Amino acid sequence: MMKHSGQRVAYVRVSTLDQNPARQLEAVGECDRIFTDHERGTRERLASRVQLEELIQYVRGGDHVVVASMDRLARSVIDLNEVSQRIVAKGVGVEFIKERLTFLAGAEADPFAQFQMNLMGSFAQFEREMIRQRQAEGIAAAKKRGVYKGRARVHGDEQVREMRAQAAQGIPKARIAREWGVSRSTLYRYLEEQPPLPL
């Protein structure tokens, strides 16, 4: 266990497959505060993990975040790198018990751990590039088959008709976009689309 000047703060993530946090709590040991997220699905987004966000807001320089294993903090190398960097940037250490890795900020950083964090960043970048490449290949294949439609429209026909009516009344397009919560480019695309034929 590393010595630290601030609080020892644990993060626990319980999934539907592993409803009991006891093993994680035992691994992290005694802590000043514990943040626990209860994941409902396998595709739970990082942004929906409220307790993780609260932990990041809560910790201060000198604190030490403890996690039972890397897979409890994040589901991908991209997320793991992003979350670890956000925590360390606050002057807070991050310790992964299972992997026996600790990332610290500044002068306290262990050169080997710093190397591993940089390596993790490289893998995250590689993962992002692979995702983009697969996505581009999928779009190209769909276009070739004539089935690519682009991103699905968020607003229904009735809402788009209302936007067109407002534009026809001379209401500024920036105001229409703001009121409907769309970008101006999306609004212009809606205005240029052929309206559906009446039933």
- Look at strands 8-14 and 64-67 and give their pairing: parallel
Q: How far apart are alpha carbons 59 and 87 in whole angstroms?
A: 8
Give buried/exposed letters for 75-86 (b at 16+ CB in 10 A, else e): bebbbbbebbee
Among candidate residues 5, 15, 122, 185, the one labeled active-site is 15
User: CA angle, 91 as apex, 89 and 93 as ends, to 5°?
Assistant: 100
15 is catalytic: yes
Burial 111-147 (b: 16+ CB within 10 A, else e): eebeeebeebbeebeeeeeeeeeeeeeeeeeeeeeee
Q: How far is CA 50 from CA 56, 91, 113, 170, in A?
A: 10, 21, 28, 42
Active site residue ranges: 15
